[in-house]
Amino acid sequence: MKFRPRQARLNAFAKINLGLKVLYKRPDGYHELRTIYQTISLSDKIELEYTPARHRIIRVDCSPEIPDNLAGRAAELLMDLLDVRGELTIRIKKRIPLGAGLGGGSTDAAAVLLSLPAITGSYCNMEQLLNLAAQLGSDVPLFLIGGTVLGIGRGSEVYSLPDTDRAHGLLVIPPAIQISTPEAYQQLSISLTRASADNKISIFQSCAWRAEVGVSEPSWPALIGNDFEEAVFRQHPRLRAIRNKLQRLGAAAAMLTGSGAGVYGIFESRPSARRAAEEFPKEQIYPFVFVSRKSYRAHWLRRLWPYAVEEIWPPLSQVFR
């Protein structure tokens, strides 16, 4: 019997960090974090094609090619868990810049985790998906939630926050700057103390509370800041200059995302963001808007039709309706 292939075309959205606090290094070698993630409209294009079979073949076609692609690893883990056989082809057209603190590899992996149960006719609950996501990387779990997300622990323990307003943003990424995340952590560890951790927790809790109760002025992320900035800006002063320029051009908040090298500014309106973009003629510029949790999930359910049940999250195969 010959099966027809099942296909889905998806957008895997990027993220920025609306503030990031590094508290201390844990006994397991990871750092204890507090961060607020926000999904944004910049996205990779992903196409999944699955054909049932008695054997298992996973192919990943990524442009540009990425060694050790997380999407393929996500497919292996999930198909092992669900005991799924078949031929799976994952085609990825990268539009999220690599090594920029935008979660480009992580969102592709999450896209596979969210869509594969629906198109293979398998069942996987959120707890199982979150466990797999945490194995793949600290940023992967947030993309199973979408919108405005609280991240604690090493960033992989995630909780929904009320969505912020549809802010307009501008992402600036200078070419030829590569940030080593392990090196950034190493530089940061030198200055970490228990006293500073206690102070950071107080600041973060205050700002997270503002997010939780829906305080939506676009300047509140600046109250948290990003602890990586001091170490990263010391090594790459050009990034500090970009952040300062965004502030001078009227950004309500401007900071490094993740450990860089992306620097973003949040503006009150699309015209003000567009005017600011004109002041960076030599840089890579990516305008974006915030993607709310409602919009994020609606996109997935719409793109996974007719395989997924409407209005159920995570996407549930029609087999289990």
Provide the annotated active-site residues: 15, 139
* DSSP code string of 106-150: HHHHHHHHHHHHHHHT----HHHHHHHHHHH-TTTGGGGT-SEEE
Kindly state the tokens that stand for 291. Answer: 């993607």
DSSP conformational letter for 249: T
**Residue 226 Cα distances to 90, 110, 140, 184, angstroms:** 34, 24, 20, 12
* Pairing mode, strands 263-267 and 56-63: unpaired
Tokens 């844990």 — which residue?
26
- Could you give the 3-state DSSP secondary structure of residue 40? strand
**d(C-alpha 253, C-alpha 266), whole Å:** 5
Name the nearest CA neighbour of 158 among 203, 100, 224, 106.
106
Residues in the chain, total? 321
- Residue 68, exposed/middle/buried by CB under 10 A (0-12, 13-18, 19+)? exposed
* Residue 274, φ and ψ in degrees, nearest 5: -65, -40
Peptide bond into 314 cis (omega under 30): yes
Name the nearest CA neighbour of 149 among 4, 293, 301, 313.
293
